Amino acid sequence: MTRRHLVTALLVLAVIALFAAPLLLDGDAGYAGTDSQATAAIEESDPGYRPWTEPFFSPSSTEVESGLFALQAALGGGVLGYVLGRLRGRRAARDATATPTTAPVRTAPEEQDRHR
Amino acid sequence: MHIAEGFLPPAHAVGWTIAAAPFVVHGARAVATEVRRNPESTLLLGAAGAFTFVLSAIKLPSVTGSSSHPTGTGAGAILFRPPVMALLGTVVLLFQALLLAHGGLTTLGANAFSMAVVGPWVGYGAYRLTRALTGNLLAAVFAGMALADLATYVTTSLQLALAFPDAETGFAGAAVKFLGVFALTQVPLAIGEGLLGVLLFRALISNARPELVRLGVLPAEPDDVLPDTPAPAGTSPAAPSTDDGDGAHR
């Protein structure tokens, strides 16, 4: 079990490091969104262009907007966590019922190593 | 990769909408078929949609000094094949266009084409290729997830270059400019998304083995159908579900 957990921890750390590194190395960069940079590039290269439609609904403040983005992430994270939790619970229940039999019960590390 | 509302000329907006529409309709039918034939897939379909939902909400800093968001479409493409993600990705884009003023309704077709069509197909191709060459599932997942992300942003760059060619250098010059904005920034994000995909599939391998076997992601091994581990209803390890899908989708 420990080797599997170590690999998981290293993967999580690598993801965090990947996104923390730019902030630590160059905290002064603006980190503007690429979507708005593309819009700015269009306005620069083609000053005559006028957007011909407006968003159907625009959040009135950046606070409201970031709240809605957080809501989107929370909905996605919530559903993902629910599914993974259910699947894990199902496996735990199956392992519990399978244990009393004579057949050797495969353990998690074996399973993992075979497919690494 | 969200082209802002109104930032594609009408002809391009209509063209990309027409281009994306058949994929989305086909994707909706693929989702309906999957749920009807394999009701136990609903849980994993939800996970695939949720993965895209959460990842495309989070903007992350990159070494280029700008920030961008992953797409998360590779996971569903690997699990259920790309057509399913044409619908799920478009639902995410619609949510963002309506509630967040991120992207737009006139640019929904172009954005769906890059994120929900090209991304999943490129990611799925990279997954299959890596799997065939190395035989390693997690390496293939990494490649599939990362390239689905990167291909989406490359597509957006080309779409914008088509709509706004440079006055002097034309399409090529504009493509270089937009690729400079999108693609470079996206490289570390694509790597991060690949690592997150590996984490997700590690969790699925240990907890959702019957589903992965049925979907053809894991091989059906004889010891997977031990009589003492009851398979969930409707799971038939012999069902050639992926081959069936290959024929239907190409």
Query: Where along chain B do its domains lie?
Result: 10-215
The residue that leads in pLDDT, B20 or A99, is B20
Tokens 């957006």 — which residue? B156
- Residue A109 confidence (pLDDT) above 60: no
Q: How many CB atoms lie within 10 A of CB B240?
A: 10
Sign of the four-CA dihedral A58, B181, B22, B213: negative
Calculate the CA A4 to chain-centre distance. 20
Please name which of B187, B61, B108, B195 lies closest in space to residue A33, comparing C-alpha atoms. B61
How large is the average pLDDT for residues B176-194?
Answer: 94
Residues comprising chain A, all counted: 116
pLDDT at A54 over 90: no
**Interface predicted TM-score of the whole assembly (ipTM), two decimals:** 0.83
Contact across the interface for A52 and B66, Cβ inside 8 Å: no
b/e map B175-197, b = 16+ CB within 10 Å: bebbbebbbebbbbbbbbbbbbb
Average pLDDT, chain B: 89
Average pLDDT over all residues of chain A? 84
In angstroms, rounded to a whole number, what is the distance separating the alpha carbons of residues A77 and A71?
A: 10
Q: Is B207 on the interface with A (CB under 8 A)?
A: yes
| Count of C-beta atoms within a 10 Å radius of residue B79 | 25
A62: distance to nearest CA of chain B, Å? Answer: 10
Measured distance CA(B71)–CA(B54) in Å, rounded: 9
Contacts of B44 in chain A (CB under 8 A): 83
Q: What is the pLDDT of residue A105?
A: 54
Q: Is the pLDDT of residue B245 over 60?
A: no
- Window A:27-56, CB contacts with B under 8 Å: 29-39, 41-42, 45-46, 49-56
Cα distance from A13 to chain B (closest Cα, Å)? 10
pLDDT, tens only, B78-137 = 999 999 999 999 999 999 999 988 999 999 999 999 999 999 999 999 999 999 999 999
Residue-wise pLDDT tens digits, B39-57: 989 999 999 999 999 999 9
Would you identify the CATH topology of the domain B10-215? Arp2/3 complex 21 kDa subunit ARPC3 (1.10.1760)
What number is the average pLDDT over the span B156-175? Answer: 94
Put simply, the answer to whether A94 touches B229 (Cβ < 8 Å) is yes
Least Cα separation, residue A103 to chain B (angstroms): 8
Which chain A residues are Cβ-neighbours of B185 within 8 angstroms? Answer: 34
Q: Which helix (H) or strand (E) holds B66?
A: strand B66-68
Q: Where are the domains of chain A?
A: 31-98
Measured CA to CA, the distance from residue B250 to residue B246 in angstroms comes to 6
